[in-house]
Structure 1
Amino acid sequence: MRDVLPVLGRWYAAGVPFGLATVVQVSRSAPRDPGAAMAVGPDEEVVGSVSGGCVEGAVFELAQEVAVGGEARLESFGYSDEDAFAVGLTCGGEITLLVRAVTAERDPGFGAVADSVAAGEPVTVATVADGPAPRGAARP
């Protein structure tokens, strides 16, 4: 997330909504660990990666939908080791992503979190992935 935060901070400060996909779970072999992020912003600009290229196309579409529609989604993507090898990947695995829209209205603490990270200050953010609270709700 730290690698994409400068761009996300600029989008947020400009009042531009964007779709943010974050890896929340992996099983077996996966190219990126939990916390890896990819965002789709204005003019279809993409920053970050959640899978090293394996599912970025599908995540791009999903992040655009969520940014416009607003409903956060929990989605899993994966390949068996055999299927992965058949399409030219070196390994299989599964990743689960939380994809949510980020706007000043939905996430008023995002700017302060981005500023804290940029300043090297410790910060923790809890984001609802599943359960009775609204999926995607975040609290610093």
Structure 2
Amino acid sequence: MPRIMLKNLNIFSLFFLLGLLTIALSSYEEATPNFYTEDQITGKWFAKEIDNSIIEVSKNSNQKWQGKIIKSDNKETIGKTIFLAEYQSKDKNYTGTLYKPDGDIEVAATLTLLSSQKLKVVGKKFFMSKTFYFTKTN
């Protein structure tokens, strides 16, 4: 009989410790500040899925973040703005509009820095969405 209680105690202890670990990790994640600053989006980003383009991101005169194609396999898109977005400090991302470089299509956009070298760009229109990943270049 004592052996069964010990076995049950070990299972109970295991679940208890797993619960504490889960709570501790979620608290750590909430307490850990996002170490990316608003201006870390600035620079040149490679977008393979957009005709192997290099997109230069900077703040425009209206204080919005602008992505402009500066190099591309599709020469007709060079110089075109691909997105305009504003930084959302609460959500630590950028929201705005994504423009199709060779057309007149506009979609809602959310841009999120996944790391200092990787940018996730999600375009949404109605119930459809498309996700792109940009890689920072020098």
Q: What is the TM-score with the length of structure 2 in the denominator?
A: 0.31
Structure having the higher Rg: 2
Q: Which has more strand, going by share of residues? A: 2
* Greater length-normalized contact order (CA 8 Å, ≥ 6 residues apart): 1
Q: What is the TM-score with the length of structure 1 in the denominator?
A: 0.31
